[in-house]
Structure 1
Amino acid sequence: MNRRYLMQGLLYFILGIVFVYFAIQQVNTGGWGVFAYVIMAMAAVDFVTAIRFVFQGLRGKGNPQDK
């Protein structure tokens, strides 16, 4: 298990949650505008990146120099 990938995955997951929160606030104040869609797209990218980092960390096939 590679802790560096797991920590990066956690960081991206938290960032995704923050972007979802900002998108909800934007929709509540201004409706579904372009900015809300951009924020949701950024959150989706962060969640996908988080999942990829977590799977990479659990698989344990990181950089051989890390071990």
Structure 2
Amino acid sequence: MRRSPLTAGLLYLGLGVLFTIFAVQNVSESGWGFFSYLFVILATLDFGSGIRMIMLHIKIKSIQKNKK
């Protein structure tokens, strides 16, 4: 089943928010450890992928609009 880039982008942004929350909680409980850095890295990758997918969706829509 194929998903639209917009759906995938929103999913990635949601995961980025979730990993950011996990990182903040982990840092407040035990300081900057391995899992804190791991959560920050995962959040960064998810935010980057989410933004890229949303930009792809916008580009596809503009191409489809110009064809009409």
TM-score by length of 2: 0.82
List runs of 5+ in structure 1 lacking aligned partners.
Answer: 62-67
1:34 CA drift (Å): 1.3
% identical equivalent positions: 41
- The higher-RCO structure (CA 8 Å, 6+ apart) is 1
**Structure 2: which 5+ residue stretches go unaligned?**
62-68
Ranges of 4+ aligned residues in structure 1 off by more than 2 Å: none
In the alignment, the residues of structure 1 paired with residue 15 and residue 50 of structure 2 have an alpha-carbon distance, to the nearest angstrom, of 9
* Rg larger in structure: 2
Q: CA RMSD in A?
A: 1.4
**Alpha-carbon distance in 2 for matches of 1:32, 1:10:** 28
